Amino acid sequence: MSSILPETPAILVVEDDEGMRAQLRWALSDYELYFAGDRSEAIAQFRRREPPLVVLDLGLPPDCDSAGEGVATLREIMTIQPLTKVIVASGTEDRRNAQDAIGGGAYDFYAKPVDSDVLRVIVERGWNSYRLEAERDDRREGLAGDSGFDGLLAASPQMLKVCHMARRVADVEVGVLITGESGTGKDVLARAIHAWSDRRDRPFVAINCAAIPEALLESELFGHERGAFTGAFAQAVGQIERASGGTLFLDEIGDMPLALQVKILRFLQEKQIERVGGRKTVPVDVRVIAATNRNLRTMMQAGSFREDLFYRLNEVGLAIPPLRDRPGDAALIASFLLTTMSRRLRRPIKGFAPETLARIETYSWPGNVRELQNRLKRAVVLADRLYITVEDMDLCDGGESADALRLPTLRQVREEAERRALNRTLAITDNNIQEASRVLGISRPTLYTLMKTLRITRGPRLDV
């Protein structure tokens, strides 16, 4: 969605009656108008111009007495571009059809015969709404820049700290080890570091150490010479050489066999490799970023991961917290993904129901961002409403009531924080009001007022 919008929008008018067209042309003379008389012409015009506003008569040929063609046109327009504001025509006899159309995605309706002033107000309101939603989508698509990286979204202090650390090391030639649970976005962070480094114009080569059989992993990394093993009919360049000048991302490094860890350590120390079956050393200039969801320190103690390799890789460690420990990030990521998915999948989804965002924030997300992405994609494909519900995302497990899914207000959060602080301070000071007020930095009258408001009474004094 482009953030540059015209001052005066184009409007597609879908109307087969010539007299009504003339009235609409006069009523909307300040706008750039395009006309269509039936469904096929309307869709062709819409695909060619994609106007932000559509004025649609539901009674289209071949059956002008039925709303079927008009509703079908509406649905197709909303599938092509859900952001479009469709204003449907409503006569006295088909007011119910107009209301049903609004339930199907139409923005508003105007009554026949045409009241020019009313129609212009509806159109202006629709244009303002379109601009606000377009700007909102642009902000969402630009949110990655807020945390310093393309493709990386963060609002929580925990994740912003990781982002800031990553940006600081992006241009420094140090080994980076990214840790975190599966699905937290370790690969996204690695690509972001590469994108902000001096190597950004060189290759980024990723290899999953857990996805390749042990017998093939060495050849995949270092390459091989012709005849090195059965089936090696020609020389092959490994992924380390392919990444020369750029970044090599070793994902799931904790699954690398011990024997191969020795060769990786030698490569990191000497900046050169030998292909399998070869004797000639090949110099390589590669930055290595590694990632794992395993506890490498525990593996070192068990003897399954080399300590010297760990410290070579972990010159700077970045630990990505799980999504459940990143307040605000789940809703932020979900909103961004919904915008991009609904557009890519051409689904007329406008947003989330309020209780859905609340549930997204309170759900534990054991699969982290990957689980959120999968659940949301399924919801976008299968949802039959304009707003994604808790049921669409299959987040109803646990039997929570609607009240349990509702986020607390700021007042409730503040009162709860004040209640905890007062109770803790009174306990520490043994219910001594003067001392409690001093610790809290407030006057005694203010403390008494807070205690009364929060219904806090002093308990028995502690035995000294």
Q: 230: domain CATH number? A: 3.40.50.300
Query: Which residue, of 138, 160, 190, is where some domain finishes?
Result: 138
Q: Which pLDDT score is estimated for 357? A: 85
Cα–Cα distances (Å) from 338 to 160, 262, 282, 329, 351, in that order, read 22, 45, 47, 14, 7
Are 231 and 363 part of one and the same domain? no
Percent with pLDDT over 70 in the chain: 90
Supply the range of the domain harboring residue 272. 146-319
Are 25 and 41 part of one and the same domain? yes
Q: Which pLDDT score is estimated for 407? A: 57
Are 193 and 313 part of one and the same domain? yes
Are 331 and 297 part of one and the same domain? no
Are 207 and 166 part of one and the same domain? yes
How would residue 144 be classed by pLDDT, with cut points 50, 70 and 90? very low
Q: How many structural domains compose the chain?
A: 4
Whether residue 303 is contained in a domain is answered as yes
Residue 3, pLDDT > 70, answer no
Are 304 and 363 part of one and the same domain? no
Are 384 and 446 part of one and the same domain? no
Are 315 and 358 part of one and the same domain? no
**Which segment of 20-29, 209-218, 316-325, 404-413 scores lowest on mean pLDDT?**
404-413
Measured CA to CA, the distance from residue 331 to residue 162 in angstroms comes to 19
Measured CA to CA, the distance from residue 455 to residue 435 in angstroms comes to 20
Are 356 and 253 part of one and the same domain? no
Q: Which pLDDT score is estimated for 397? A: 60
Q: Which pLDDT score is estimated for 91? A: 66
Are 183 and 74 part of one and the same domain? no
**Which segment of 39-48, 208-217, 423-432 scores lowest on mean pLDDT?**
423-432
Query: Dihedral through CA 424, CA 428, CA 434, CA 440, nearest 10?
Result: -50
Are 100 and 231 part of one and the same domain? no
Are 206 and 298 part of one and the same domain? yes
Q: How buried is 229 (Cβ within 10 angstroms: 0-12 exposed, 13-18 middle, 19+ buried)?
A: exposed
For residues 264 and 218, is the Cβ–Cβ distance under 8 A?
no
How many Å from the N-terminal Cα to the C-terminal Cα in the chain? Answer: 69
Q: Which pLDDT score is estimated for 463? A: 40
pLDDT (tens digit per residue) in 289-301: 999 999 999 999 9
Angle of helix 116-141 relative to helix 329-344, nearest 10 degrees, comes to 120
pLDDT (tens digit per residue) in 174-190: 999 999 999 999 999 99
Q: Which pLDDT score is estimated for 344? A: 83
Residue 149, pLDDT > 50, answer no
Instruction: Give the containing element (helix H, strand E) for 111.
Output: strand 108-111
Q: How buried is 53 (Cβ within 10 angstroms: 0-12 exposed, 13-18 middle, 19+ buried)?
A: buried
Beta-bridge partners for 111: 90
Query: Which residue, of 319, 343, 371, is where some domain finishes?
Result: 319
